[in-house]
Amino acid sequence: MSIHLLGIRHHGPGSCRNVLEYLQELQPDLILLEGPAEAEALLPCALNEQMEPPVALLAYQPDQPQNAVFYPFAEFSPEWQTICYAMRNEVPLRFFDLPLTHSMALSQKPAKEEKEETPQDEPEGQETAQEVIAETETSIQEAEISAKEQETVSETEEETGDIYRDPFDYLAEAAGYTDGECWWETTIEHRKDSADVFLAVQEAVTALREELPKHTSPRDLLREAWMRKMIRAAQKENFERIAVVCGAWHVPALENMPKVKEDNELLKGLAKVKVECTWIPWTYDRLSFRSGYGAGIESPGWYHYLWHHPEDDGTLWISQAASLFRKKNMDISVAHVIETVRLAQVTAALRNLPAPSLAEFNEAITTVMGFGDDILLQIIKEELIISDRLGRVPDNVPKVPLLVDVEKVQKRLRVPFTAEIKELTLDLRKPNDLERSIFFHRLYLLEIDWAIPGSSDGKGTFKEKWTLYHKPEQIISIIEKAIWGNTLEEATQKYLLKQTGEIRHIPELTHLLDRVIPANLPDLVDAMTVQLDRLSAASTDIIEMMEAVPDLVSIVRYGNVRNLDFSKVGNMLHAMIARILAGGVLVCINIDEEAAADILNKLVSTDYAVSTLNDPELNTMWLEFIRQVRTSVNVHPLLSGYATRLLNDKGDISPEEAQNTLSYYSSVGNAPADMAYWFEGFLRSSGAILLLDDNLWNLVNNWVCGQDKETFMELLPILKRTFSEFTPPERRKLGEKAKASGAGGIQTQTVTVSAHNEAEAAKVIPLIRQLLGIETK
């Protein structure tokens, strides 16, 4: 009986090729592979014609789906090729890592604790948001970097844990490489002769583990104890040749086995949880380091190329890059390709490398094609170095019913998961686009962020814009929501019914109802309408009602677009406007500036909503309310000014009434602050009025010029705030108009003003320009 330990790096094409060649020569009777035993039943799916890497084994707790683990595989992953070899040759294969029923129980720790570090030569094949046990953080903080360097490490560094270092960096330093990743890449991944490579890896890792014992975390010690237990069990079954494929860091712990009693003591009393497994599609984007996972590689697209074209001298790779540059309308010739390949080969030779690596090719592209500018690397990074490849899994793999329903709808509507970001503009008048819209809205309401709504071009309500971007974590979100129903419609409705029952404020409910309408859930809408009616009848908060009006208007409008009956909501909207008319003025009286500003914002949004709906009865009620705000005593001048502006815009008051009101608030008897607040409300976002209406201009200009110095300085901050809301072009034109006014360029029309001294008036112009934020030339 013989045990053959094959130490690998996850997702390495060189390690992958070495493993495959070794297995073909050894022809083992049994293969033990690092992975979860719970997923063994899913291994035959690897040979299914629908299976296309990159894919991942997903394991999760049915009662807590958020506690989940991914085991990603690419075509160039040693584990994947090991599985395919075993399935094709009918060789027994067992996952021999610590079972997830124990591992995930250990992973349940407070969210504030951080994920454990793992040596970069062996990024963990499994990835989880709650992956490590509590001792991990302490383990990292106590990591040793070397006997010599340890003497120079400060106490502060030891406490913060910032001293952690990839142990393979020491081998890299000895060999003259920049880091351990580069050393492994050149020494192992690009090695042409695979003879004795696994023995060399074992010797190197053994030396590292002896020198740096605390780089092995408590969780890894548990895993290795279980691995040894599985090896002993296999030995008892009298297999002649057992191949053990695992991360390189574990090899020394499996070579020199301690006593059985020691391992049993370590594994005694492990907690358990229920675990289920399935296959899910993965992406090269999520294999990269930028995905945030520890088990990542920087350049999966490059590794894909190395796996499929091991004998290429770089010509194909550079040709692909050149083709991409030409698609970007860049002038790249065949000569560029030839010179780039030659430069990369020469650079590799000068560095004593067996072949150019990605670094040499990138430098050559920058030099030859980019003329020293590395901006070209950004172009090839997404499409070549990382790639947007998305895998596929068979239809018959175990899935929760909700995920099956989602995938069925995706297939029918022709909107499958894709690796790239996709922009969609939907026309709701088209049946297929309308169904897509309903589908996207339901997913979004379930907090599954695959389809994100955006603003569509134009002002019509028949258009919707969506951004689609698939992330594997979205599968977890779907599994989490599966407890609410077996179909997307059922799950969305039950999930939101629970939320509806917990809402106690009208605006919160109307906002949610506005989001629910496009999802076409009539039973849910009825239940929410009943709840809204109940809250509205019990509420006496006029401010809440004002805040709810825009959402109600949007609901009624959406009903018209989607041919749905929302007469109940329309009736509720009328009742709410009537209640605002009856008691709304009271909330505008005897209030401070902060409260007035809040009400003003609600008036602006409510007026816009009512005007957009353009319902005659609602317009009449709303207009009457605005009249009351304008004429009632003790209404804050900010609101009175805005009400006057609205009535002026709507033609409800004559020019003479507007002039009289302006004259009243600009009279000497009013408090300066009241004057300023009134003008702020009146001129809110109305720079164009001052530019086009000379009567209004003269009233404002004369009022500003008529203030004494002390009063003007008191009003200046408020006035500056008012004019700062105008757009830069409006402020510039107002400054030009002020300059012309100072020179007598603006003539009064219907308003008589007293004679003035132009020389004295000219002194005011710099102040006006300062007020408007216009630099004096």
| Tens-digit pLDDT profile for residues 401-428 | 899 999 999 999 999 988 888 999 999 8
First-to-last CA distance in the chain? 95
Rounded mean pLDDT, 605-618: 89
User: Is residue 293 pLDDT above 80, yes or no?
Assistant: no
Q: Which two tokens stand for residue 272?
A: 């358990």
- In terms of pTM, does the model score above 0.75? no
User: Is residue 24 pLDDT above 90, yes or no?
Assistant: yes
pLDDT range class, residue 115, cuts 50, 70, 90: very low
Sheet arrangement for strand 451-454: 422-427, 463-468, 451-454
* Secondary structure of 326-367 in HEC code, one letter for each residue: HHCCCCCCHHHHHHHHHHHHHHHHHCCCCCCCHHHHHHHHHH
Query: What is the structure's pLDDT at 223?
Result: 93
pLDDT tens, position by position, 310-337: 889 999 999 999 999 999 889 999 999 9
Residues 6+ away with beta carbon under 8 Å from 279: 42, 45, 51, 55, 56, 57, 58, 393, 394, 397
Beta partners for 468?
422, 451
User: Is residue 224 pLDDT above 70, yes or no?
Assistant: yes
Q: Which two tokens stand for residue 701?
A: 């200009």
Rounded mean pLDDT, 714-734: 78
Distance (Å, rounded) from C-alpha 562 to C-alpha 239?
Answer: 68
Query: What is the structure's pLDDT at 124?
Result: 42
* DSSP tally for the chain: helices H, then strands E: 37, 11
The rounded mean pLDDT for the chain is: 81
Distance (Å, rounded) from C-alpha 69 to C-alpha 130?
Answer: 9
Query: What is the structure's pLDDT at 698?
Result: 73
Rounded mean pLDDT, 486-507: 91
User: Is residue 141 pLDDT above 90, yes or no?
Assistant: no
Query: What is the structure's pLDDT at 562?
Result: 56
Query: What is the structure's pLDDT at 144?
Result: 30
pLDDT over 70 for what percent of the chain? 84
pLDDT range class, residue 742, cuts 50, 70, 90: low
Distance (Å, rounded) from C-alpha 572 to C-alpha 534?
Answer: 11
**Cβ distance 314 to 341 under 8 Å?**
yes
E strand or H helix at 453, and its extent? strand 451-454
pLDDT range class, residue 566, cuts 50, 70, 90: low
pLDDT range class, residue 560, cuts 50, 70, 90: low
pLDDT tens, position by position, 71-113: 899 999 999 999 999 999 999 999 999 999 998 888 764 433 3
Query: What is the structure's pLDDT at 541?
Result: 83
Average the pLDDT over each of 44-53, 54-63, 155-164 and give the range with the smallest value: 155-164
User: Is residue 296 pLDDT above 70, yes or no?
Assistant: no
pLDDT range class, residue 712, cuts 50, 70, 90: confident
User: Is residue 689 pLDDT above 90, yes or no?
Assistant: no
pLDDT range class, residue 776, cuts 50, 70, 90: low
More confident residue, 536 or 50: 50
Query: What is the structure's pLDDT at 143?
Result: 29
Average the pLDDT over each of 461-475, 510-524, 700-714 and give the range with the smallest value: 700-714
The CA-CA-CA angle for residues 227, 230, 235, to 5°, reads 125
User: Is residue 256 pLDDT above 90, yes or no?
Assistant: no
Rounded mean pLDDT, 489-513: 90
Pick the closest to residue 123 from 33, 253, 12 (CA basis): 12
User: Is residue 773 pLDDT above 90, yes or no?
Assistant: no
Alpha-carbon distances of 433 from 26, 446, 679, rounded to whole Å: 57, 20, 48
**Cβ distance 275 to 61 under 8 Å?**
yes
Q: At 310, which amino acid appears? A: P
Distance (Å, rounded) from C-alpha 385 to C-alpha 378?
Answer: 10
User: Is residue 129 pLDDT above 80, yes or no?
Assistant: no
Q: At 589, which amino acid appears? A: I
**Cβ distance 306 to 76 under 8 Å?**
yes
pLDDT tens, position by position, 636-654: 999 998 998 888 878 888 8
Alpha-carbon distances of 57 from 103, 364, 416, 668, rounded to whole Å: 15, 38, 20, 79
**Cβ distance 703 to 666 under 8 Å?**
yes
Q: Which two tokens stand for residue 662?
A: 């302006």
Query: What is the structure's pLDDT at 148?
Result: 31
Longest dimension (CA), the chain: 116
User: Is residue 62 pLDDT above 50, yes or no?
Assistant: yes
**Cβ distance 21 to 310 under 8 Å?**
no
121 DSSP assignment: T
pLDDT range class, residue 575, cuts 50, 70, 90: confident
Distance (Å, rounded) from C-alpha 609 to C-alpha 86?
Answer: 66
Rounded mean pLDDT, 52-60: 91
